[in-house]
Amino acid sequence: MTTYHTVDGSGVRLRYEVRGSGPLVMLVASPMDAEAFAPVADLLADEYTVVTHDPRGISGSVLDDPEQDSTPELRAEDVVAIMDALHAETADVFGSSGGAVTGLALVTGWPGRVRTLVAHEPPLLELLPDAAVRRAGVDDVVTTFHRHGLEAAWMAFMEIATVDGADMPDSDGPPPEEPSPQEIVNGGRFFAHELSHTTRYVPDLSALRSAPTRVVVGIGAESGHLQTHRTSTALAELLGVTPVEFSGEHIGFLERPKEFANDLRGVLAGH
């Protein structure tokens, strides 16, 4: 059974969902909302208390100021607000993409609250040797959004998300559906207020190394064509850890939820 809740954070009313019972696991996305994690959360709920939420300004998490930017530090504070509402002193945290960056900021700011952080494909472009080029690419995407709209911005985003010269894998699936009104709002929020802050985040490596948290870097088995494969590899090297392979690519939790849930179970169990 899934229960639905809200809690007030810093300038935001956060919407979150709770499933199952057992040790607390937070599944953190950005910019995706809680719905993206539902398949994996359902599979984990027989063993864990699984909490998902809509990031600030996305879907059901409504900001006091709609023009407020979304930074990793603010999103980390939101995770703490939800943990406090649950009277949970600690949790295991799985963060994917921008949610992985949120998780890194969480460990840095509240190191005692996270037992294990699984940072799955954080887009930490500042860790790359060609960071200036990647930063300019993000700026171009944001400019494209403001000048030409959401569809053009997504096309530009997909171009910069891949490694130079890499081809996207062929897809035999149906063509993408037209975005819903909420997806349009969420996409605009991502490009106008979130993307730059997430990709410009520079993790505090010293704080991550000294924290009591076990930090695991996850990389999709099929993500070799993506910039997030490069950024994840760079983070793992800087932390001196071996990255862990997860099923699928950047959104493997949506593409292969059963395999992905098993992967995550193994990591949380320390395997």
Q: Tell me the pLDDT of the chain averaged across its residues.
A: 95
Q: Is the pLDDT of residue 212 over 80?
A: yes
Rg for the chain, CA atoms, rounded: 17
Q: Is the pLDDT of residue 117 over 80?
A: yes
- Average pLDDT (68-81) is 98
Residue 171: predicted pLDDT: 47
Q: Which value, to the nearest 10 degrees, does the dihedral of the CA atoms of residues 125, 257, 190, 83 take?
A: -90
Q: Give the chain's domains with CATH numbers.
A: 2-268 (3.40.50.1820)
Are the C-beta atoms of residues 116 and 48 closer than 8 Å to each other?
Answer: no
Residues of the chain with pLDDT > 90: what percent? 93
Residue 174: predicted pLDDT: 55
**Per residue in 150-196, pLDDT tens?**
999 999 999 999 997 555 444 455 556 788 999 999 999 999 999 99
Q: What is the distance of C-alpha 179 from the center of its chain?
A: 20
* Inter-residue long-range contacts of 34-43, CB under 8 Å, 24+ positions, other chains counted: 34/59, 34/60, 35/59, 36/251, 36/253, 36/254, 37/253, 39/253, 39/254, 39/257, 40/253, 40/257, 40/260, 40/261, 40/264, 41/17, 43/257, 43/258, 43/261
Write the burial class of residue 153 (CB in 10 Å: 0-12 exposed, 13-18 middle, 19+ buried): buried
Q: Is the pLDDT of residue 231 over 60?
A: yes
Residue 170: predicted pLDDT: 46
CA distance 56 to 10: 10
